[in-house]
Structure 1
């Protein structure tokens, strides 16, 4: 199954200047729980926002140029090639950025979205989720608190 996983603001904002716009520890835990042990596909700019490769995941990095990725990471030139590198019988997580999500939304089977209940100024956005193509099947609300400046909702969509 091809799964898009993202955290977006109410206006679909993902980030600005290759940086996340919020810090939500429970969202990081959610991301880790879902993606651990799986292949994760991302664009080069997304990968470069990490201080080092994420543990217990196989990284596939999409780059149009000859990108020298750290040992253990796989570099490819297209989303199609990235998907071909993944096992056929396992869930694959596409983790960004905006251009990669745009390319992948029509081939994905599922979306794991953290909807941050705030509007942000951004330069990178998640594509619109078309309600004619996607069905919301699960939601879990998390209020703001001392560790989370913004409330958010974990949402799961499946393709109709």
Structure 2
């Protein structure tokens, strides 16, 4: 099963200047819990924005740079190759960035969306997903507190 996981605001903003425009520690814990033990596919810029490969996951990096390599990451040069590796071991996750999400959306079976009920400035967006192609199967309200200062909810959509 191919899943996509992302947090976005009310306008589908996911990033600004190579980073997330918000800080939600509980969402990062949710991301870790959901993806741990699975394969994850990301673009090179997303990989390089992290502090190395994510632990307890097979890190698959899509890049056009033939010479790129990094210990702890598997390089793929096209989306098909990445999706094949993702699907080999049960559920695999596309984790960004914007261009990778856009290319992979039509191949995804499930969306894990953290919807942040705010509007942020950004330069990177999650692609539009039509409610007539996706069925909401889970909705859990996140806890707003001092460390997580926004209203947000965890949504799971399955392709119809």
TM-score of the superposed pair, with normalisation by structure 2 = 0.96
Q: Is the 8 A contact 1:67 1:75 kept in 2?
A: no
**What is aligned with 2:20?**
20
Q: Give the whole-Å Cα distance in 1 for the aligned partners of 2:22 and 2:156.
A: 21
Q: Does the residue aligned with 1:106 lie in a helix, a strand or coil? A: helix
Distance 1:67 1:157, change over 3 A: farther
Q: Is the 8 A contact 2:2 2:87 kept in 1?
A: no
How many residues are aligned here?
160
**What is aligned with 1:10?**
10
**What is aligned with 1:124?**
124
Point out the structure with the larger helix share. Answer: 2
**What is aligned with 2:80?**
80
Deviations 1:21-72 (A, max 9, x none): 1111110111001101110000011111101211100100000112533212
Distance 1:98 1:67, change over 3 A: farther
Distance 1:65 1:118, change over 3 A: same
Distance 1:142 1:85, change over 3 A: closer
Q: Does the residue aligned with 1:19 lie in a helix, a strand or coil? A: coil
Gaps of 5+ in 1: none
**What is aligned with 2:96?**
96
**What is aligned with 1:105?**
105
Deviation at 1:99, TM superposition (A): 0.6
Q: Give the whole-Å Cα distance in 2 for the aligned partners of 1:56 and 1:96.
A: 18
TM-score of the superposed pair, with normalisation by structure 1 = 0.96
Matched, 1:62 2:62: yes
Q: Give the whole-Å Cα distance in 1 for the aligned partners of 2:67 and 2:96.
A: 17
Please identify runs of 4+ aligned residues in structure 1 that moved more than 6 A. Answer: none
